A and B are shown apart, each in its own frame.
Chain A
Amino acid sequence: EDQVTQSPEALRLQEGESSSLNCSYTVSGLRGLFWYRQDPGKGPEFLFTLYSAGEEKEKERLKATLTKKESFLHITAPKPEDSATYLCAVQVGGAQKLVFGQGTRLTINP
């Protein structure tokens, strides 16, 4: 069975304190790994798609990396507005659907 596990479940940082969120996966035939940001009461906002091990993508203070077993979302010098739940999802084999992890609730204190 395809599984996606995110850690930590929740993370509190001070403004400017860099850290990383982890997404580990056990799937048969990864087609793509997706990162989304979700604010309370809203739908997920697309951040990145990674397709192969070694791939990296950046957007402002966020950088996503991918290995054969896991993905990291690195956040550099975060600001309070980066507070949100970050969701990782995988798309497997010939399927179009996404399998989501439980998410990491990130809080950045000013």
Chain B
Amino acid sequence: GAVVSQHPSRVICKSGTSVKIECRSLDFQATTMFWYRQFPKQSLMLMATSNEGSKATYEQGVEKDKFLINHASLTLSTLTVTSAHPEDSSFYICSAQQETGDLLYNEQFFGPGTRLTVL
């Protein structure tokens, strides 16, 4: 199946600093990538949809100025958590949609996740 990578896998930072997380589709091109957040023992919550070459679409309640998303190429999207605070500590997961040419059959593949801890 399609492979999606994330870097870093873990990051610990001080409160007030910014953290950048990369999401790459390794063996396919992804016009669309998605960023999720997952708290312990909870399901995935979509934060934003990232489209190559255009602005991201954020879900209700997600601060676009705090969670900056850039989708500069068909294989790379980045999420920057600006001025991170302890409540931003979470597991951040990206997914990339492999487009088959048929809009009905686009499947999403997930990265391994990034554990962010803000002290």
Contacts and interface: CB of A to CB of B under 8 A. Distances in A.
A43 B46 contact: no
B113 A42 contact: yes
A46 B115 contact: no
A63 interface: no
A45 B110 contact: yes
Interface residues of B, number: 26
Contacts, number: 56
Given A96-B32, A96-B97, A97-B34, A42 B43 contact: no
B115 A43 contact: no
Nearest to B10: A41
Contacts of A101: 43
Q: What bracket does the count of chain A residues touching chain B fall in?
A: 20 to 34
B7 to A, nearest CB: 13
B44 interface: yes
A96 B106 contact: yes
Contacts of A102: 42-43
Interface in B30-75: 32, 34, 42-46, 49
A44 interface: yes
B46 A97 contact: yes
Interface string B82-98: 00000000010101010
Contacts of A42: 112-113
Interface of B is mostly: strand
Nearest to B42: A102
A87 B44 contact: yes
B117 interface: no
A103 interface: yes
A36 B115 CA distance: 20
Given A98-B44, A100-B44, 16 more contacts: A32-B105, A34-B107, A41-B91, A41-B113, A42-B112, A42-B113, A43-B113, A44-B44, A44-B95, A44-B110, A45-B110, A46-B107, A96-B106, A98-B108, A101-B43, A102-B43
Interface of B: 1, 4, 6, 32, 34, 42-46, 49, 91, 93, 95, 97, 104-113, 115
